[in-house]
Structure 1
Amino acid sequence: MGTTAVEHLLALTPERRPGIPETLNGTLRLDMYQDGWTQHWYLTVTDQHVEVGRSADDADLVLRAHRTVFDRLAAGQLRAPAAMLRNDMTVEGDMRLFVVFRRIFPGQAGAQHPREVARQLAADPASGRDGDR
């Protein structure tokens, strides 16, 4: 399956994350439940830095899902908005911090941002044409 959510969280380093808006600060709690118990992860976001710890304290945004959902998010097999819309994950609190959560967990393997694809097509328009037509 790839990396688990716990492995992903433990591997997060404290360097600056330019993908997180500079003015977005707060706390997130990830509640991963499985087999009758819940594991709590606490993320503190300050000045584009994310500190990861373990706590069940109140947070500005709480995300709750089965551990396999978080594992699929960490492996890039599931997108956070899709999990939320299908009710596989509940989200409560300051939704602005959902941006942080989406930026911490990777997207699908090989996925590209639409702007990057547009830049590539602008640089080489022939690359976007289907040669079989």
Structure 2
Amino acid sequence: MGATAEQYLRQLDTGRRPDLPETTAGTLRLDVRDDGSTEHWYLTIADQHVRVTRSADDADLVVRVDRWVVDQMVNGELHPGAAMLRNELTMQGDMRLLLVLRRIFAGPAGARHPRELGRAALAGRTATGAREVRS
């Protein structure tokens, strides 16, 4: 089994996250439900850093989710957008921060960003075209 939500969230607070947009700032609260109780994780996002605390304070975006769903997102087995469409994750507030949540949770192991795939394909076509011109 992979990381749990708690393990993953605690390690988020370790430094700069170049995958986050530089201009994005806001607060996000994860209300993680499990066996009749709720844990509150408060994420403050600014300057490509994520600070994580345990708080039930108001946030720009509040996400309510069951523990098993968060555990799947942490391990790259479930995309936050898919969880939202299946009503396994509900949100209230600034929906733009959902995009940040997508970047915070890792994708599947070995996944690559679509832009990387496009650049690789373009580089392959350019190299093929250069060889054909030389022939």
TM-score, normalised via structure 2 length = 0.87
**1:65 partner letter:** V
Q: Which runs of 5+ in 2 are unaligned?
A: 126-135
Alignment of 1:79-118 (within 5 A): 79-118=79-118
Rounded to whole Å, the distance in 2 between the matches of 1:14 and 1:100 is 17
Q: Which runs of 5+ in 1 are unaligned?
A: 126-133
Query: Do the aligned partners of 1:20 and 1:99 also contact (CA within 8 Å) in 2?
Result: no
Query: Do the aligned partners of 1:27 and 1:59 also contact (CA within 8 Å) in 2?
Result: yes
Q: CA deviation at 1:85?
A: 0.6
Corresponding position of 2:68: 68
Corresponding position of 2:120: 120
Greater RCO, CA 8 A, separation 6+: 1
C-alpha RMSD of the superposition:
1.2
**2:119 partner letter:** R
Q: Determine if the alignment matches structure 1 residue 19 to structure 2 residue 19.
A: yes
Identity score, percent: 58
Output one character per residue of 1:6-58: Cα deviation in whole Å (capped at 9) or x when no partner.
11011113422222222221110001101100011000112221100000111
Question: 1 or 2, which has the higher helix percentage?
Answer: 2
Report the secondary structure of 2:96's partner residue: helix
Rounded to whole Å, the distance in 2 between the matches of 1:100 and 1:118 is 22
TM-score, normalised via structure 1 length = 0.88
Report the secondary structure of 1:62's partner residue: strand
Q: CA deviation at 1:76?
A: 0.3
Alignment of 1:31-50 (within 5 A): 31-50=31-50
* Larger Rg, first or second structure (1 or 2): 2
Corresponding position of 1:129: none
- How many residue pairs match? The answer is 125
Report the secondary structure of 1:90's partner residue: strand
Corresponding position of 2:56: 56
Report the secondary structure of 1:92's partner residue: strand
